[in-house]
Chain A
Amino acid sequence: MKSKHEKLCQILHICVTVFWGMLLTGCATMHLPDYVHSDPNGYQYHAFRNHIVVGASPFVDKKECKKYFGTDLMKTSVVPIALSVWNQHPHNSYLLLKDNIIISNQRMDVHSSVKQVRSHQHRGGESTMKAGAVGLLVAPVVGAAVILAGGKMISDAEVIQHNLEVKEICNKTLSPDSETGGFVYFRIPETQALGDKLYLKVDLVDVQNDDTVTFNFEMEI
């Protein structure tokens, strides 16, 4: 027969073990590291024009994706593309606007596509979208987790969603010799396979004379 004191000690022992067990087995809040955008010249695809360097790297590696986004986004047909822009012009400033970043799985007509594309078009095997439509993509990524949720899963889903938004590229003025970086997200159609082409178009607008500098990338995913 155990004494009252022994029983209390046993309960306390169980509580402490469960608490540490929870912490060590992953009940701690998910933490995702920041992605440091480096020199665009080091990106898988890069180009130099009018003193501006733009670099782009599709994030298709599962490990990398899990590390920075907490989930394999490719499973939900979303491709994150790391983008880095460096204005090396000594005097001119350029506007980087999300609406001027377009991703498509079809080759784009450089001169006419911008005004024709809605924020997200998806017909059959064709998909074209503007960066900044992250809301369209995030819901399917985290939706399943929330439906099945327990407290930890809800917390993880929120951290993943928050992280996608925080890492997204944003509207910015690139002053002389300044750089910026962020991710654009693209939902690939079901018919698209790994190894297919993806086309990225980035337009930068000169603040003083409204001239546009266009960068086109043909990427393999």
Chain B
Amino acid sequence: MPDIIQTIIGKYNYWIYITLMMIGFYAIIAKNNLVKKIIGVNIFQTAIILFYVSIGAKWGGTIPILQNVHGEGGAGAATHAIKAVDYINPLPHVLMLTAIVVSVATLGVALSLAILIYRRYKTLEEDEILARIREK
């Protein structure tokens, strides 16, 4: 029994992130409206980014900006030794910065496509669009 409690305390964060991903995934496959599908895509993207950034978190670490190194030239070593265990892992932050900006670019393109579809078929519901395509 204490083993299960230990597992839950160690990993419940991952389970909540997976629930968020599944909410976004459900919106993509089961909703009829196009704008709801686009919202689902964005929820999925941000949940994955949250999952990835949480891998780099450390208990007792501080933000990844080096302290006590102002005023040093680049060629000399810092007066305080920089220990990697004090700072949280900066590599997931870098990769996910790219992912966030790419997600807003694809949001712009997806909304442009939705406006074009509305201009052509006068509706945004997927079943009505399929019906109007079939009767052409």
Q: Do A and B come from one complex?
A: no
